[in-house]
Amino acid sequence: MTKKLVRDKVYIIAEAGVNHNGKLNLAKQLIEKAKFAGADAVKFQLYNTNEIASHNSQLASYQKKNTSKIRNQFELLKKYEISVQFIKYLKTYCKKLNIDFMLSVFDNESLKILKKIQYKNFIKIPSGEINNHFLLRSIEFSNNKFIISTGMSDNVEIINSINSISKSEVYSFDKKKNKIKILSNKLLSKIQKKIYLLHCVTDYPADIKYLNLNAIKTIRNNTKLDVGFSDHSIGISAAVGSVYCGAKIIEKHLTLNKKLKGPDHRASLNPKDFKLMVSKIREAEKILGSSKKNIQKCEIKNKKAVRKIVVAKNDINKGEKFSWNNLTAKRSGLRGLEVGNVALLIGKKAKKNYKKDRNIIQ
């Protein structure tokens, strides 16, 4: 399984996808650059073209923009399909560089390959397959962990995919209340350790007006699962911003050169920008800190200087009762009672004389 637990920190996936353009040398360089940039994992796409597209399948609009001389999806996918030997080499190379190797799967034949190569990382279910129950119901739930992208899907499709993968009725959807219902807390506890969701807007590149990062919080609150963000927008702002919305996983396309020919290069980051994104994500984690409200170490040295202590508002004689009228609070370099505890003095008699501004020590 992965070297790093997703719950410990944001898990950053460099989506190599098909940006290797079918060339092993480019794929190796993508792994090297993912490691250089500080990614936790590098992910490739595993599919059998004959299983996922017909010969007359139309290109998506972004595919038409970003490719040329390709007539349909079958031709496009076939061009970037990789062999079992190709995959085995990448897996070994990732291990050598100490970076997690990850795969998206699109069809049942590819599931069989995962067994052949003894694949142990997350199985990524891409947005296009979230409703493919031929695939989902064939997955062995007990031996794997999963990341599900939710692009182009609604609440019903999301919970149906989880129910299908887990082979259990964890969720249902109340149409009248437009609300996801959790049917079993016991089952929920089981899948919380195994399934992670990614908010995603499926367009390449995705316009920022459609990103809707607040949906990360909504999905998390509705499903009680950890949620991340698969970012297809230009730049790094959205990916970094998603951390502030609670993203636990961030997936972003990586390319060696945005000008290379292929469907995804334009919506990808080059290695330098990917490294910057990782740096900003780690910075965001530090900024967010923990959910606990504690006095920070850096505050302790300032507390004595800026917090007030209880002092005499005017001269107070021995035996005189302390009151709200003869006491006040001032900053002082002296030891004394913090003003927040002044109620402990009210009504008690002074054990000695106090001059004006003198700290009260009984």
pLDDT in tens, 258-306: 988 888 888 899 999 999 999 999 999 999 998 899 999 999 889 888 9
Same domain as 189, residue 100 = yes
pLDDT at 53 over 80: yes
Q: What is the mean pLDDT of residues 20-35?
A: 96
Do 182 and 312 share a domain, yes or no?
no
Nearest to 215 by CA among 154, 129, 174: 154
User: Average pLDDT for residues 29-44, to the nearest whole number?
Assistant: 98
pLDDT averaged over every residue in the chain = 93
Q: Taking the complete model, does pTM exceed 0.85, yes or no?
A: yes
Whether residue 337 is found in the same domain as residue 223: no
What is the rounded distance in angstroms from the CA atom of residue 38 to the CA atom of residue 298? 29
- For residue 53, being part of any structural domain is answered with yes
Task: Answer yes or no: do 164 and 228 share one domain.
Answer: yes
Helices and strands in the chain: count of H runs, count of E runs: 13, 12
Kindly state whether residue 354 falls inside one of the protein's structural domains. Answer: no
How far are the Cα atoms of 132, 158, 182, 197 from residue 161, in angstroms, in the given order? 8, 5, 14, 11
- Find out whether the peptide bond into 205 is cis, omega within 30 degrees of 0: yes
Last residue of a domain, one of 262, 288, 314: 288
| pLDDT of 117 strictly over 50 | yes
Return the CATH number at 168.
3.20.20.70
Tell me: pLDDT of 75 over 90. no
- Percentage with pLDDT > 90 across the chain: 81
Look up residue 307 and give its amino acid.
R
Q: How many other CB atoms sit within 10 Å of the CB of residue 318?
A: 10
pLDDT confidence of residue 362: 85
Domain count, the chain: 2
CA separation for the pair 276, 265 (Å, rounded)? 18
Go through the chain and tell me how many residues it has: 362
11-17 and 41-46 as β-strands: parallel, antiparallel, unpaired?
Answer: parallel
Q: What pairing do the DSSP bridges indicate for beta strands 123-125 and 100-105?
A: parallel
Local confidence band at 1 (pLDDT 50, 70, 90 cut-offs): very low
Q: Does 362 reside within a domain?
A: no
State the pLDDT at residue 79.
Answer: 87
User: Which residues span the domain enclosing 322?
Assistant: 297-344
Residue 249 sits in the same domain as residue 330: no
Whether residues 283 and 301 fall in one domain: no
Same domain, 222 and 330: no
pLDDT score at 141: 93
User: Average pLDDT, stretch 77-88?
Assistant: 92
Does 357 reside within a domain? no
Query: What is the structure's pLDDT at 6?
Result: 62
Q: Identify the pLDDT of residue 58.
A: 79
Give the separation between CA 159 and CA 24, rounded to whole angstroms.
37
Q: Are residues 260 and 304 in the same domain?
A: no
pLDDT given for residue 316 in this prediction: 96
What would the mean pLDDT of 69-77 be, rounded to a whole number? 79
- Res. 3: pLDDT tops 70: no
